Amino acid sequence: MGTNNKGITYLSYLGILALIPLMTEKDDEFVQFHAKQGLNLFIFEVIGVVVLNILSFVILIDITNPVFWFLSIAISFISSIVYLLFLIVSIIGMINVSKGLKTPLPVIGSIQIIK
């Protein structure tokens, strides 16, 4: 079973707030595991937002062209799916915290940016 300090561990999956448990609970292995997982997730979220915004900006160059209209709608749809996937992965992380598990997040859990 994990830590008794689950409350602060939940912050790990709320974006930049992952820095709070990472900095304040340095001696708790469970908290550190989830803080690092959450920070990795946040970094992937930022990268995803930047890439999608760049694509959206590039598409807006010639919005009068019907092909760019289609691409704009496609990027909006893809953005919605990506944001939903990040939300789902965050919820999975919080479920792992509530169960006291140190299970890596799906897909990105094995890619450690923050170690």
Cα 69 to Cα 59: distance, rounded to the nearest angstrom? 8
Mean pLDDT of 30-57: 93
What's the token pair of residue 94?
């919080």
pTM here is: 0.85
Element (H, E) at 16: none
User: What would the mean pLDDT of 5-24 be, rounded to a whole number?
Assistant: 94
Of 102, 54, 60, 62, the closest CA to residue 79 belongs to 54
**92 in Cβ contact with 105 (< 8 Å):** yes
Q: What is the DSSP letter of 103?
A: P
The tens digit of pLDDT for each residue in 67-88 reads 877 888 888 899 999 999 999 9
